[in-house]
Amino acid sequence: MLTKGDKILIVSIVIFSILSLIYIKNFAFTNEENYISIQVDGEEIKKVIFDKKLIGKTMPIETEFGYNLIEIGDQKVRVIDADCPDKLDVKQGYISKSGEVIVCLPNKLVIEIKGIGDDVDIDYMSR
């Protein structure tokens, strides 16, 4: 039989666990300094550091493989137009967290959000 003290201990452990998960999800793996890495055919062709002046700006990416139009938002990026047949990259919408990726296979385009301090080759699961 649980006493009043046991119930208080269980409730406080549950609340502490939930608050810890929220902290880890929102703050532990975020970098204040993120940038956009644009790669075509495996080679990085452009790095764009997020800036308030770039909000709402579009950036055309024209290569021998195809055309994509990228829109930069407030700490987020998306593809708004592409000449690929399925347009899965357009349908994906915005990405905003370090490690998220938009891929357009027909155009060999990869757009990735990276943190300035993300040069470590360790994934999140092994930390």
Q: What are the tens digits of pLDDT across the range 13-25?
A: 999 999 998 888 7
DSSP conformation letters of 96-126: -STT-EEEETTTTEEEEEEETT------GGG
Q: pTM of the prediction?
A: 0.68
The sign one gets for the Cα dihedral 86, 88, 89, 94 is positive
- 50 lies in the same domain as 107: yes
CA–CA separation, 97 and 41 (whole Å): 23
CA–CA separation, 46 and 61 (whole Å): 10
**What is the domain range of residue 52?**
34-117
Residue 125 lies in a domain: no
CATH code for the domain in which residue 101 is found: 2.60.320.10
- 105 lies in the same domain as 91: yes
- Domains held by the chain: number: 2
Please provide the average confidence, as pLDDT, over all residues in the chain: 86
- 26 lies in the same domain as 39: no
Q: What are the tens digits of pLDDT across the range 46-67?
A: 999 988 899 999 999 999 999 9
